[in-house]
């Protein structure tokens, strides 16, 4: 019996060895890669910005810090209405201007006399951040805060002592309202050529944030969590790398060029993905004069595709009015946008289609083209390390009509694809989709729009990649004509 057991043991060992050899290892990460917090952040895709404060009541975009705090007096403020609207719109979070450039604090800060405590609202006993953070929790939304380091009200602004004041305000906010998913900074600084200027202690500010919220994504021109993408029109670059070189730069006037902010940098040393901030109205704060100037549905749909569809998250500003409520014109437009998005991406025509690839890593089903259609984030198709080009064919099995193609890279292993093209089979020959033969960068999500096509087959060519391409999703959709 011993010799039989010995033979069986050796047979099992040989089987395990050969079985192990038959499944290749996944590709090694390429260069800098995202943290788990950045991966989770990118999956949020779409959330709400709230600009609210004295500017709402004085009808200006940038207050000067000299306004009477008693002007802040919303008559029917309801943060639950904000959260319910965001939720119904398909958004995943809300970021609020806890302190804008005028220095007014939406919480009763111990380090300022320009706060809700000095306002007429609730006789000085209110706290907007408390109410909003609780509403976000109730509606299953994440909560984020914007604090401007520029403060036109605080007497110590422009002195070394101010940096500690601002750090203390960050300390208050980030320790009092639960989980904060994103800390939003801009680099605004100073009051003109003869005004006060502050040398910001960014290291101190970042340490304060991470001391309370180690998971928080810090937004600024250079991150470190995510970056401004260079304009307020809602248009990320068609080329959009999530990597960038940030050494030697700082938010504000010391930021990289607008082009770099918009497009990122191939092979950059830091992972700093793009966030697209844009307002649903012409201004950031509510004004009754813009009630009839809410962006059209067509414009918002365009913005969705030039942000989420170009490897960027979309932060859409929806400012509450003087009652402290989101205006019906804004909420109605948000619901229209949600309807178009839902209708567009409801049916993936590639689901159940035959997916084949010209190259597959180790010829293993573990990395085969079928993984592109299984709907799972952590499974993917890839090639051998030395194979930097490849083609993936989708055969629907019958004629299908479509006008959207969505591609996704498995970006936890780095952003790789530099150029790709798409073709469809017209029955006689392969024809280019959408005019231009060559597209750039995919990243977390790239959505192509093109005129309606009817075809049985579609083919994606990875033409240039920094390392073996790694994709975890291909989807095909037919968007409504108004989408």
State yes or no: pLDDT of 10 exceeds 50.
no
- State how far the Cα of 314 lies from the Cα of 311, in Å rounded to an integer: 10
> Is 11 within a domain?
no
Q: Which residue has the tokens 């977390």?
A: 444
Mean pLDDT, range 269-279, rounded to an integer = 98
Give residue 194's pLDDT. 67
Share of the chain above pLDDT 90, in %: 90
Based on the domain organization, do 57 and 151 belong to the same domain?
A: yes
Q: What is the pLDDT of residue 191?
A: 61
Whether 314 and 389 map to the same domain: the answer is no
Q: How many CB atoms lie within 10 A of CB 1?
A: 5
Cis peptide before 224 (omega within 30 of 0): yes
Full residue range of the structural domain in which residue 455 is found: 354-477
Tokens for 228, please give them: 């401004």
Is residue 6 over pLDDT 90?
no
pLDDT of residue 7: 41
Given a cut of 70, whether residue 280 has pLDDT beyond it is yes
| Residue 390 pLDDT | 98
Q: How many domains does the chain have?
A: 2
Residue 14 lies in a domain: no
92 within domain boundaries = yes
Residues 54 and 69: beta-carbon distance below 8 Å: yes
139 shares its domain with 48: yes
What pLDDT is stored for residue 189 in this prediction? 82
Q: What is the pLDDT of residue 196?
A: 79
Short-list 206, 191, 106, CA closest to 157: 191
Task: Please identify, among 298, 314, 344, the residue that sits at the C-terminal boundary of a domain.
Answer: 344
Residues 321 and 363 in one domain: no
Residues 340 and 359 in one domain: no
**pLDDT greater than 70 at residue 435:** no
| pLDDT of 352 higher than 80 | yes
pLDDT tens string 372-429: 999 999 999 999 999 999 999 999 999 999 999 999 999 999 999 999 999 999 999 9
On whether residue 260 sits in a domain, the answer given is: yes
Residue-level pLDDT at 437: 75
The tens digit of pLDDT for each residue in 99-111 reads 999 999 999 999 9
Residue 3 in this model has a pLDDT that exceeds 80: no
Show which of 311, 344, 377 is a domain's final residue.
Answer: 344
Q: Are residues 155 and 260 in the same domain?
A: yes
Strand-pair partners of 404: 449, 477
Residue 179 lies in a domain: yes
Task: Please tell me which residue, 436 or 153, carries the higher pLDDT value.
Answer: 153
Predicted pLDDT of residue 1: 43
pLDDT above 90 for 149: yes
* Residue after which a domain boundary falls, among 316, 344, 372: 344
- Tell me, yes or no, whether 61 and 101 share the same domain: yes
pLDDT of 249 > 60? The answer is: yes
Average pLDDT of 233-245? 97
Kindly give, in sequence order, each residue whose CB lies less than 8 Å from that of residue 302, ignoring residues fewer than 6 positions away: 234
Percent of the chain with pLDDT over 70: 94
Query: Mapped to the 3 state alphabet, what secondary structure does 351-378 carry?
Result: CCCEEEECCCHHHCHHHCHHHHHCCCCC
Mean pLDDT of 77-82: 98
- Per residue in 292-309, pLDDT tens? 999 999 999 999 999 999
Contacts of 268 (CB under 8 A, 6+ apart): 32, 241, 243, 244, 245, 246
Residue 16 has pLDDT above 60, yes or no: no
Please give the Cα distance from 53 to 155 (Å, whole number).
20
Tell me what pLDDT residue 66 has: 96
Domain shared by 265 and 408, yes or no? no
Q: Would you place residue 2 in the very low, low, confident or very high pLDDT band (cuts 50, 70, 90)? A: very low
Let me know if residue 67 belongs to a domain: yes
Which pLDDT value is given to residue 465?
98
Query: What length is written for the chain?
Result: 483
Distance CA 462, CA 443 (A): 13
pLDDT number for residue 482: 63
307 and 390 fall within a common domain: no
Same domain assignment for residues 311 and 417: no
Q: Are residues 279 and 335 in the same domain?
A: yes
CATH number of domain containing 334? 3.20.20.80
244 and 358 share a domain?
Answer: no
Q: Over the chain, what is the mean pLDDT?
A: 94
* 228 part of a folded domain: yes
18 inside domain: no
Rounded distance, CA 53 to CA 66, Å?
13
CATH number at residue 459: 2.60.120.260
d(CA 309, CA 344) in angstroms, rounded, equals 13
């Amino acid at each position: 019996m011993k010799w039989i057991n010995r033979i069986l043991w050796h047979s099992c060992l040989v089987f395990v060895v050969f079985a192990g050899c038959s499944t290749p290892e996944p590709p090694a990460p390429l260069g800098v890669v995202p943290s788990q917090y950045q991966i989770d952040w990118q999956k949020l895709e779409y959330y709400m910005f709230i600009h609210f404060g004295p500017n709402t009541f004085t009808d200006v975009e940038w207050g000067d810090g000299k306004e009477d705090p008693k002007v802040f007096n919303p008559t029917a403020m309801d943060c639950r209405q904000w959260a319910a609207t965001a939720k119904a719109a398909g958004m995943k979070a809300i970021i609020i201007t806890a302190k804008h450039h005028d220095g007014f604090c939406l919480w009763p800060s111990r380090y300022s006399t320009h706060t809700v405590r000095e306002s007429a609202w609730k006789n000085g006993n209110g706290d907007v951040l408390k109410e909003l953070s609780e509403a976000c929790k109730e509606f299953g939304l994440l909560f984020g805060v914007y604090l401007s380091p520029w403060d036109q009200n605080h007497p110590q602004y422009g002195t070394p002592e101010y940096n500690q004041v601002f750090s203390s305000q960050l300390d208050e906010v980030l320790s009092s309202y639960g989980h904060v998913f994103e800390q939003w900074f801009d680099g605004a600084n100073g009051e003109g050529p003869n005004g006060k200027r502050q040398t910001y202690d960014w290291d101190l500010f970042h340490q304060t944030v991470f001391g309370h919220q180690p998971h928080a994504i810090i937004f600024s021109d250079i991150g470190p969590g995510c970056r401004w993408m260079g304009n307020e029109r809602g248009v990320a670059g068609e080329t959009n790398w999530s990597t960038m070189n940030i050494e030697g730069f700082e938010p504000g006037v010391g930021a990289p060029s607008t082009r770099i902010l918009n497009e990122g940098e191939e092979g950059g040393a830091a992972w700093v993905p793009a966030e697209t901030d844009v307002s649903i109205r012409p201004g950031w704060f509510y004004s009754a004069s813009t009630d009839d100037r809410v962006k059209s549905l067509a414009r918002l749909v365009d913005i969705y595709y030039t942000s989420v569809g170009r490897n960027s998250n979309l932060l859409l500003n929806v400012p509450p009015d003087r009652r402290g409520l989101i205006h019906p014109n804004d909420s109605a437009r948000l619901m229209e946008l949600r309807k178009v998005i839902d209708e567009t991406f409801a049916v993936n025509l590639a689901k159940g289609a035959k997916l084949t690839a010209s190259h597959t890593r180790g010829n293993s089903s573990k990395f085969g083209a079928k993984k592109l259609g299984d709907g799972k984030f952590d499974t993917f198709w890839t090639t051998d390390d030395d194979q930097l080009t490849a083609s993936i064919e989708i055969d629907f099995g019958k004629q299908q009509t479509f006008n959207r193609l969505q591609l996704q890279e498995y970006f936890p292993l780095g952003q790789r694809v530099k150029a790709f093209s798409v073709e469809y089979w017209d029955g006689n020959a392969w024809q280019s989709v959408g005019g231009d033969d060559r597209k750039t960068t995919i990243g977390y999500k790239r959505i192509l729009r093109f005129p309606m096509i009817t075809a049985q087959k579609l083919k994606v060519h990875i033409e240039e990649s920094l390392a073996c391409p790694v994709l975890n999703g291909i989807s095909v959709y037919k968007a409504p004509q108004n989408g």
